[in-house]
Amino acid sequence: MPDFTDTLRPAGPGGPAILAKERDSSDVPVEQLAQHLFPSNDFLGRQERIVPILENNKLFDKSKQQNLSRPERYRLGLARAKQLRRYADQYNWEDEDLNVAQYLCDDVSPYMVHYSMFITTVREQGNEEQRSYWLPKIEAMEAIGCYAQTELGHGSNVRGIECQARWDPAKGEFELHSPTLTASKWWNGTMGRTANHAIVVAQLLVPKSAESKDYVNHGPHPFIVQIRDTQTHKPLPRIAVGDIGPKYGYAPMDNGYMLFDHFRIPHSAMLSRYSWVDPNTCTYSKPANPAVVYGSLTAVRASIIMHARLIMARAVTVAVRYTCVRRQFQDRDSNDKRAPEMSVLDYPTVQIRILPLLATMFALHYTGAAMQSLYENTRAQIDQGDFSKLAVLHAQSSGLKSLCTELAANSVETCRRALGGHGFGGGSGLIQLNNDYLSKPTVEGDNWMITQQTASYLIKRMSAAVAAKTEPQDEVEAACKEWLHQGHDKRSSPLQIFDSDEQLVEAFHRRSRYLTYQAYIEREVKNRSWNSLLIQLRKVSHAESQSILVTNFHKALQNPSSNLPPPLKAHLRKLFQLFTLYTLDSEARDFLKASAVSDEDLDRLPDRIQQLMAEIRPHAVNIVDAWKIPDFLLDSALGRYDGRVYEDLFNRAHRLNPLNKVTFNPYYTSDEIEMGGGDGELRRIVAKL
């Protein structure tokens, strides 16, 4: 409906002009940087091909989805998931294309667990017969599956799960049973409404012999189970399954609950590539090496870090573009009363929140890439059963998962708040992102729990280095040995962090070794209880992870094969320094204690950081542009590439908002809610509650 607002324009200077100026005044080569960031797998090409397909289908229009109720939002998610799968057939997409399409659609899809954990588990843990039976059905989506491990009462501690699978030698079947309410499967994605099959992880109980009444618990094992009728889609008898209700985010996903009442499944349901129950003798055979699962877990964690960097890139893109367009207050020191208001990004209080994150995106990128290639390179060894390289990689990956997902989750919220009031609005584009991503610090290993794995490994290596009986088992132990050899456990002189990048990197190594050594003393020498050390152990893990991030960032810039043009390399080096010095500043005390930096240098840090931010500031827009996040994915009025911030905000409020289609009766003396609806309306509303 046309009205007088159609002709209104934002007060000048307009967003497009501001961003054009930002882009013109920076010499950061956007396309070169983009190629540097996404060199493999044709990621940018796929993105460019798929965006128009989705943009042209109204189903993927995101403008109204925030208004939907939970059931409606799930319905939309299901419709999109089906459509994407049909596109995959229609355009002959590779798996990677479907992944990119899902990334762009930005729903946590109801099919997600089917495509990931369900199929992976069958592939990795099924024996040949099971694979050839199930995989065609799964790929054709006749069997739609989920992965049911976590329970109402148990998450991270897999050994504590309560669901049971009891082998009945007489009938030649397993009996799945949930003995308590807390044994209910819980949180399992795709299970609530969508799946007709599930991988159920249950405690395997097997009689001592075919005649015995005594059962032995062999621990958690995976079973593939049909849970719903393939025609009616109703739960099978003796199964209670449903959706667990609304969450902070993940609205299109049907995370579910599931209980079994003495539910019988055949012998072939137990996925038996590694462990097996002999149906006749009741003999149980164990997996050859329990480390087999580490390999894929490490790959998963590398991809979590690569994903985290894209999450940060989205948040920082929105924050950088909007804080350039947004102006607030004149410069206090300016004498010109009519000077325009300042770009918010010119305030150091805004820079200190956003620019270190801009640098952190790159830090995550180089470490994620390094882990991926390390994993690829050691894969051959892993396949031959040599896990020596993997142990250190696995231990490091726990700590990195914890630190990186935490950094990414917090970055979204930091960026959102740096947007001021509009950050709270649906037009910021950071709300769903925040809501969806916030699950990450607690899933796939709670961030506070898994740092223990990293710390425990480091302490072991330090113990070995102190004992000095054998050749170092890995690089960590070698580094511990070198640190001890230098006498750093006693005293040493600080490094000159402003003199060279190498010294700066070395400072991170030294501080990590120092904290590891302190933890070793507390645990191994003073025999302090594990529980009383948990907080310290987390610091040990984070220090090591930060040291890895800094090292990989530095290595990537030194790498001659990257062919970085010198001007671009100079910019990246500033980002390296900002990330490194900012991190150092926030953990200053540990560095001081470790004799890694001098007190005087610490005093100089804030000024140096502010100076680096001032140098990076003019290039911020070009740098985020190079991350190539399309507007379709950003879904943000504030972060639009073209800077038409206010026009878009107004359009969303005025034209796309369903609440504005209703006229309400605001007077309390009347029970009518919608104008013309009559007094019976209150009853209608109460009836819905």
Partner 1 sequence: MSTIPQWVKNLKPAGPQGTELLQQERNKSSVDVEQLSNFLFTKDGLARKQRVLEILQNDKVFDKSQNYFAGRVDRFETALARAKKLRQLHIKHNFSQDDKMVANELISEPGPYGLHESMFLITLRDQGTPEQHEVFLRKAEQYKFIGCYAQTELGHGSNVRGLETTATWNSDDKTFTIHSPTLTSSKWWIGSLGRTANHAVVMAQLIVDGKPMGPHPFVVQIRDMESHQPLENIHVGDIGPKFGYNTMDNGYLLFNKVKVPHISMLARFSSVDPKTGKYARPASPSLVYGTLTWVRSTIVMQAGGVLARGVTIATRYCAVRRQFQDRDAPEWQKGENQVMNYTTVQVRLLPLLATTFALHFTGKAMMALYAASQSKMSQDAGKAGGPQRGAGPEETNAGSDLLADLHATSCGLKSLASYTAVEGLEICRRACGGHGYSSFSGIGPWYADYLPTATWEGDNYMLTQQVARYLLKTARSVLKGVDPNTNDTTLILSTFLARQDTGAAFDVLGNDSDIVAAFAWRASFLTFEALKHRDEQKKPWNSLLVDFYRLSRAHSQYMIVKNFYETLQSSSPAQEGMGTETLDIMHKLFRLYALHTLEQEASEFYTSSAVTVRQIQLARANAVMKLLEEIRPHAVRLADAWAFPDWQLDSSLGRYDGKVYEDMFYRASEQNPLNRVTIDPYPDSPTLFKANEAAALKSRL
Q: Which residues are the active-site residues?
A: 444
- Given a contact cutoff of 8 angstroms between Cβ atoms, the answer to whether 544 and 454 are in contact is yes
Question: Residues 23, 49, 70, 166: which binds partner 1 (CB under 8 A)?
Answer: 70
Residues near 643 by Cβ (< 8 Å), separated by ≥ 6?
14, 15, 16, 17, 18, 19, 20, 321, 324, 325
Could you say whether residue 666 binds partner 1 (CB under 8 A)? Answer: yes
Piece in contact with partner 1 (CB under 8 A), picked from 147-155, 284-292, 370-378, 484-492: 147-155
For residues 182-221, which are near partner 1 according to CB under 8 A? Answer: 182-184, 186-187, 192-196
Strand partners, 220: 203
Nearer to partner 1, 274 or 437 (CB): 437
Residues near 382 by Cβ (< 8 Å), separated by ≥ 6?
295, 389, 390
Nearer to partner 1, 569 or 644 (CB): 644
Of 597, 465, 478, whose CA–CA distance to 524 is shortest?
Answer: 465
- DSSP strand pairing (197-207 vs 215-226): antiparallel
- Supply the minimum distance, in Å, between the C-beta of residue 295 and partner 1: 25
For residues 634-663, which are near partner 1 according to CB under 8 A? Answer: 646-647, 649-650, 652-654, 656-660, 662-663
- DSSP strand pairing (276-277 vs 284-285): antiparallel
Handedness of CA 439, 443, 446, 451 (dihedral sign): negative
The CA distance from 513 to 507, in Å, is: 10
Question: Residues 39, 61, 212, 248: which binds partner 1 (CB under 8 A)?
Answer: 248
Could you say whether residue 421 binds partner 1 (CB under 8 A)? Answer: yes
Q: Residue written as tokens 């000077």?
A: 339
Long-range contacts, 442-450 (Cβ 8 Å, 24+): 444/300, 444/301, 444/304, 444/401, 445/156, 445/398, 445/401, 445/402, 446/155, 446/156, 447/401, 447/402, 447/405, 447/406, 448/402, 448/538, 449/156, 450/156, 450/398, 450/399, 450/401, 450/402
Using alpha carbons only, give the angle 392, 398, 402 rounded to the nearest 5 degrees: 145
426 annotated to a ligand binding site: no
Report the run of H or E that residue 284 belongs to, with start and end.
strand 284-285
For residues 91-120, which are near partner 1 according to CB under 8 A? Answer: 110
For residues 451-490, which are near partner 1 according to CB under 8 A? Answer: none
Could you say whether residue 526 binds partner 1 (CB under 8 A)? Answer: no
Nearer to partner 1, 384 or 529 (CB): 529
In order of 21, 263, 273, 583, the CA distances from 615 in angstroms are: 17, 66, 57, 18
Handedness of CA 229, 233, 234, 235 (dihedral sign): positive
Piece in contact with partner 1 (CB under 8 A), picked from 82-90, 117-125, 211-219, 505-513: 82-90
Could you say whether residue 58 binds partner 1 (CB under 8 A)? Answer: no
Nearer to partner 1, 32 or 83 (CB): 83
- Supply the minimum distance, in Å, between the C-beta of residue 485 and partner 1: 27
Nearer to partner 1, 24 or 89 (CB): 89
Question: Residues 37, 407, 438, 564: which binds partner 1 (CB under 8 A)?
Answer: 438
- Supply the minimum distance, in Å, between the C-beta of residue 686 and partner 1: 5
150 annotated to a ligand binding site: yes
For residues 595-614, which are near partner 1 according to CB under 8 A? Answer: 602-603, 606, 610
| Residues 297-336: x where in contact with partner 1 by CB under 8 A, - otherwise, as a string | ------------------------------xxx-xxx---
**Helices 501-520 and 534-558, packing angle to 10 deg:** 160
Nearer to partner 1, 524 or 671 (CB): 671
Nearer to partner 1, 129 or 679 (CB): 679
Question: Residues 123, 137, 154, 166: which binds partner 1 (CB under 8 A)?
Answer: 154
For residues 534-573, which are near partner 1 according to CB under 8 A? Answer: 534-535, 538
Piece in contact with partner 1 (CB under 8 A), picked from 175-183, 217-225, 486-494, 550-558: 175-183
- Supply the minimum distance, in Å, between the C-beta of residue 273 and partner 1: 27
Could you say whether residue 618 binds partner 1 (CB under 8 A)? Answer: no
The one-letter amino acid code at 95 reads D
Question: Residues 51, 144, 355, 364: which binds partner 1 (CB under 8 A)?
Answer: 144
Radius of gyration of the chain measured on its C-alpha atoms? 28
Piece in contact with partner 1 (CB under 8 A), picked from 42-50, 348-356, 384-392, 572-580: 348-356
Reduced 3-state DSSP string for 119-132: HHHHHHHCCHHHHH
Nearer to partner 1, 33 or 138 (CB): 138
- Given a contact cutoff of 8 angstroms between Cβ atoms, the answer to whether 274 and 125 are in contact is yes
> Residue 184's Cα: distance from chain center in Å?
26
**Annotation: binding site for FAD:** 150, 189
